[in-house]
Amino acid sequence: DAYESSEGFFDNLEDVEAMFQISMKIPLFENSLFVEGDGLFLGFTLQAWWQIYADNISKPFRETNYQPELFYLTPIGWHPFDGNTALAFGIEHQSNGRSQFLSRSWNRVYMQILFEKENFGLSLRPWIRLSEDPKEFEFDPSGDDNPDIEDFMGNFELGFAYKWHNFEFNFQGRQNFSTHNGSAELGFTFPLFGRLRGYATVFSGYGDSMIDYNYSQTRFGLGIVLTDIL
In the annotation, is 95 catalytic? yes
Three-state SS annotation for the chain: CCCCCCCCCHHHCCCCCEEEEEEEEEECCCCCCCCCCCEEEEEEEEEEEECCCCHHHCCCEEEEEEEEEEEEEEEECCCHHHCEEEEEEEEEEEECCCCHHHCCEEEEEEEEEEEEECCEEEEEEEEEECCCCCCCCCCCCCCCCCCCHHHHHCCEEEEEEEEECCEEEEEEEEECCCCCCEEEEEEEEEEEECCEEEEEEEEEEECCCHHHCCCEEEEEEEEEECCCCC
Q: Considering the candidates 5, 6, 95, 103, report the single residue annotated as catalytic.
A: 95
In the annotation, is 93 catalytic? yes
Q: Considering the candidates 6, 93, 103, 216, report the single residue annotated as catalytic.
A: 93
Catalytic residues: 93, 95
